[in-house]
Amino acid sequence: MTDVPLPGARSVKPLRPFRFGWHCNYADTPGQFVDRARRAEEFGYSTFTIGDHFRKQFAPLPALMAAAAATTTLRVGPLVLGNDYKHPLVLAKELATMDQFTGGRLQVGIGSGWMHEDYEWSGMPFDRAGTRVERLQESLTILKGLWGAEPFTFHGAHYDINAHDGTPKPVQKPRPPILIGAGGRRMLQLAAQEADIININVNLRTGVQNVAALMQDSDNADVMSYQKKIGWIKEAAAGRFDDIELSVACTCIVTDDRDKTVHATALSLGVPAEYVASSPIYLIGSHDEMAADLEQRRAELGVSYVVFYDDVAASLAPLVSRLAGR
């Protein structure tokens, strides 16, 4: 892994312990989905998550309730909800209900919405990024307000709430932890001001799911892109930076020939090999090499919450056992 110093971006407080998430977007049956949640808990994963899209997948909130009912300690949450898909008053009630029914095991992941297909299928207008971010900012204010102790009123450019005392209230106080998925500068700055956890992503402004196409965006192919992103977070967060947990979702390839696989992956994406070797969203090598990379990236970037996709999450259980809580 390339050693890229990050002056001023890392917190000076002690590093956070590692924790890991199992992300399950697809399952053939409800039983398969629930079984994976049970395995995630058994293997020492901290969270079990699912995305929020209109493609072939289960609806996130009811599916996560089933996962929570089948487990006892596992935290569940969307990674991440598309803000435009539900009014924030409806969402506040549904999420608080989930927190009640799970005994306070909900992690609220939310973003501004980004995939063109979701908007095309639903007929919702795909507004400019700035408008979608503005709506998300208002939604976050409303969620937090409705989860508070007093009736809440809000009049914004996109939403209005009139003296509503949101019920039920969440079990977790002052509220469930909020994770914001972000890749562009404006979203990262909003997350720095509002989130408890930031899942740092590539910039998704192209609106397509194709990874190779996303990586052709100049913002994403920059070898120093994650150092820059964390710098933006720290600048916008000011005094609360040390309280924010930094997260990434990793594409993982277990291999005994790290260099060959790094170069092949970089070639397929059209990015420099140095990017794949150093970027926190790629984890390639043996379990020993992966563990060393995760520890180095935590030291350099402060990333301690790492999410693995469903296709490799079970096979990486030894790595989770080795690092979780350390």
Specify the residue for token string 């992300």.
23
Average per-residue pLDDT for the chain: 93
For 113, the token pair is: 């919405």
Q: What is the pLDDT of residues 108-163, one digit of tens each?
A: 999 999 999 999 999 999 999 999 999 999 999 999 999 999 999 999 999 999 99
Above 50 in pLDDT, residue 41? yes
Q: Residue 168's closest CA among 187, 188, 154, 148?
A: 148
3-class secondary structure, 279: coil
Residue 63 three-state SS:
helix
Please give the backbone phi and psi of residue 38, each rounded to the nearest 5 degrees, phi first: -60, -40
pLDDT attached to residue 5: 41
Looking at residue 183, its pLDDT comes to: 93
Q: Residue 6 pLDDT > 50, yes or no?
A: no
- Residue 76, pLDDT score: 98
- Tokens 């506040």 sit at which residue? 92
pLDDT value of residue 202: 83
* 68 within 8 A of 34, measured Cβ to Cβ: no
**19-248+309-323 — its CATH code?**
3.20.20.30
The pTM (predicted TM-score) of the whole model is: 0.94
pLDDT given for residue 206 in this prediction: 73
Model pLDDT for residues 269-290, shown as the tens digit of each residue: 888 899 999 999 999 999 999 9
Look at residue 8 and tell me whether its pLDDT is greater than 60.
Answer: no
How far from 168 is each of 62, 92, 108, 146, 282, CA to CA, in Å? Answer: 17, 9, 16, 9, 40
Q: Residue 220's pLDDT band (boundaries 50, 70, 90)?
A: confident
Which of 5-9, 44-48, 152-156, 248-252 is predicted least confidently?
A: 5-9
Beta strands in 80-224 (DSSP E): 81-82, 108-111, 152-155, 160-164, 178-182, 197-200
Residue 232, pLDDT above cutoff 70: yes
